[in-house]
Amino acid sequence: MTPTELHEIVEVRLHRVDQRYTPGRRAIVGLLARVGRPLSISDIAVQLPAVPRSSAYRHLVDLQAAGVVRRVAASDDFARFELAEDLTEHHHHLLCTLCGRVIDVTPTPDFERTVAVMVAQLAEQQGFHPTAHALDVQGHCASCVEADTGA
Ligand SMILES: [Zn+2]
Ligand SMILES: [Zn+2]
């Protein structure tokens, strides 16, 4: 997807929820697309000094409501934001509950096939037809483990 196509899709999704695609929202979506990993509000404030932090937060809430942005979090203290999966690609997250780090991991086709089989087993008993899944793993990142054992 080109940046132009992305912005067109985002504009349509915002219109559906009666929101306009303002320059501030456009800047945030462009940044998330360029960086390609989940960003915190602080990261966004550093990268986009022209967008006040409070507006950035409101924009993110509206972009989430429009289905453009997804919130990723190990806990409420460590919220990160990324583009919705249908605008990027399917992936999973490793979330550090100590420092808040979020690591994007792209599963292998083998991994996805295994997950699909397991999910089908769970869903079948309920007559449920799965269409997607999200798998976020919580734990301690390599730096936090190292800091802990080094202390
Ligand atoms: Zn960590
Ligand atoms: Zn998956």
Q: Which of 62-66, 70-74, 129-133 has the highest mean pLDDT?
A: 62-66
CA of 83 to the centre of ligand 2 (A): 16
The per-residue b/e assignment along 10-33, b for 16 or more CB within 10 angstroms, e otherwise, is: bbebbeeeebebeebbebbbebbb
Query: pLDDT tier at 74 (50, 70, 90 boundaries)?
Result: confident
What is the per-residue pLDDT for 25?
Answer: 97
What is the per-residue pLDDT for 78?
Answer: 85
Output the six-digit token pair for 49.
């000094």
Among 53, 89, 87, residue whose Cα is nearest residue 67: 87
**How do residues 33-60 score in pLDDT, each as one tens digit?**
999 999 999 999 999 999 999 999 999 9
* Residues 141-151, mean pLDDT to the nearest whole number: 86
Cα–Cα–Cα angle for 26, 59, 23, rounded to 5 degrees = 30
CA of 95 to the centre of ligand 1 (A): 8
- pLDDT of 75 higher than 90: no
**How do residues 91-135 score in pLDDT, each as one tens digit?**
999 999 999 999 999 999 999 999 999 999 999 989 999 999 999
CA of 49 to the centre of ligand 2 (A): 35
**How do residues 5-39 score in pLDDT, each as one tens digit?**
999 999 999 999 999 999 999 999 999 999 999 99
Strand partners, 83: 69
* SS3 per residue for 25-87: HHHHHHHHHHHCCCECHHHHHHHCCCCCHHHHHHHHHHHHHCCCEEEEECCHHHEEEEECHHH
| Pairwise CA distance, residues 137 & 139, whole Å | 7
CA of 47 to the centre of ligand 1 (A): 22
Query: pLDDT tier at 151 (50, 70, 90 boundaries)?
Result: low
